[in-house]
Amino acid sequence: MSDKTQHQRRDRTHWLYLAVIVAVGAGILVGWLAPGVGVSMAPLGTMFVNLIKMMIAPVIFCTIVLGIGSVRAAATVGKVGGLAIGYFMVMSTIALGIGLVVGNLLQPGTGMNIKETAKQGAKLADQAHAAGGTWEFIQSIIPTTLVSSLTAGSVLQALFVALLVGFALQAMGTAGEPVLRGVATLQKLVFRILSMILWLAPIGAFGAIANVVGKTGLDAVKQLALLMIAFYLTCLVFVFGVLGALLRTVSGVSIFKLVRYLAREYLLIIGTSSSESALPRLIAKMEHLGVERTTVGVVVPTGYSFNLDGTAIYLTMASLFIADAMGKPLAIGEQIGLLVFMIVASKGAAGVTGAGLATLAGGLQSHRPDLLDGVGLIVGIDRFMSEARAVTNFSGNAVATLLVGTWTKTVDVDRVAMVLDRKLPFDERTMVDDAHDPRQQPEPESKDLVTA
């Protein structure tokens, strides 16, 4: 009886994600049949993404403070962070290499003549330079005040302050437990607000899709179909081939089961073209999956700024496409130099809106200014390609969390198997599972989920 009641309560969440799919289809039709109306819908998509972004800082703060503050061994957190950063750098390099190989094999821009394309590249390059150099990037991590880190909209600032607070509470020992309980209560409130906001996802998806189709039309998509298909296929190979093989080898987990577990997050990302919209849900789901809070709290937020596998593939293929389309192909040496610069620059531009496009323009301006004007061709379909970028980045961070958890022995293997086999369903009502601690026994957790 309780199981039946549980499923009845959870049924309404299925309608939300079906509504997102319908809204995307409706947005495409409106943008195609009535471009003016479609463009006017842009604020709907912008407002929804802004609502999601306003929740990112408090979610990260609560998660990391709880994760670190409840652990008595600071070395554990340092080990997790070090492994995560090292893994991110290796995987970014592999992603660049895959994009480089596919771009050189297919050469989707060969034969096109786009030298007269509208010159939008310089403007985008200025956006990349506005993010500053390496020192400016490091300096920007330090907020003006502790509170401003939660209001400035910077993921890295929120991460930095949360680490400080977490380690401080850790050092306080039992004296810091009342604060930890308060933060835990605040986390429940934050996730409850977020679950309310997510019901506006269909409206946001409709506005975003209608706007981009209204601006570019279907012809713009058709013109660059080969590049888009090649990019999507490359991302699929990377996720199911490279990441899937690594996940199976290290953690013994099927990438297909993990993708099924995160299916709703993928729909949300596709609807908003932003992996940020699914960040709070990824944190909640990876904890429910059986990865300890400390690992999730460090790996996921850090990965959102440093683990940009999809962006790396995009930068590679877009650069080669522009060079070929303008009849000025890049030599192997130029390709390597340009792409090494871009992957480093993408770390500093991670928090900038349209970071992929801006970094692409900035890299071309620095290394091959004669190719800068070709960025104007990419602008028309960047919105569509950003979906694949976001999904790939999201997948990379989910896999990274499990891998780092396995390496640091902070994941409950038995619980992972039960969750991925749908024996312990995720609580969609609040996204906060009071009994998600992987150290607890599965049976009472299942009961708590039903009676909560």
How far apart CA 285 and CA 401 sit, in angstroms, is 11
Which burial class, exposed, middle or buried, applies to 182 when counting CB atoms under 10 A from its CB (0-12, 13-18, 19+)?
exposed
| pLDDT score for 116 | 45
Contact 368, 287 (CB under 8 A): no
The CA radius of gyration of the chain, in Å to the nearest whole number, is 22
How far apart CA 145 and CA 111 sit, in angstroms, is 54
Report yes or no on 278 lying in a domain: yes
| pLDDT score for 249 | 93
Residue numbers in the chain where pLDDT is lower than 50: 1-11, 116-118, 220, 348-353, 432-452
Report yes or no on 66 lying in a domain: yes
For the chain, the domain total comes to: 1
| pLDDT score for 245 | 94
pLDDT tens, position by position, 149-174:
777 767 678 878 888 888 888 888 78
| pLDDT score for 124 | 53
| pLDDT score for 148 | 80
Contact 222, 42 (CB under 8 A): no
Query: What are the φ and ψ backbone dihedral angles of 178, each rounded to 5 degrees?
Result: -60, -40
Query: Dihedral of the CA atoms 291, 264, 234, 252 (nearest 10)?
Result: 30
| pLDDT score for 2 | 44
pLDDT tens, position by position, 367-402:
676 676 666 666 656 666 777 888 888 899 999 999
Contact 319, 335 (CB under 8 A): yes
Report yes or no on 224 lying in a domain: yes
pLDDT tens, position by position, 302-359:
787 677 788 788 888 888 887 777 776 777 777 777 767 666 655 544 444 455 666 6
pTM score, two decimals?
A: 0.65
How far apart CA 349 and CA 368 sit, in angstroms, is 20
| pLDDT score for 273 | 66
Report yes or no on 6 lying in a domain: no
Report yes or no on 349 lying in a domain: yes
Report yes or no on 109 lying in a domain: yes
CATH number of the CATH domain containing 310: 1.10.3860.10
Q: DSSP assignment of 204-266, as one string?
A: HHHHHHHHHHHHHHHHHHHHTHHHHHHHHHHHHIIIIIIIHHHHHHHH---HHHHHHHTHHHH
Report yes or no on 1 lying in a domain: no
Report yes or no on 5 lying in a domain: no
Q: What is the residue range of 242's domain? A: 11-451
Query: Dihedral of the CA atoms 57, 58, 59, 63 (nearest 10)?
Result: 110
User: How far from 443 is each of 99, 435, 438, CA to CA, in Å?
Assistant: 45, 11, 12
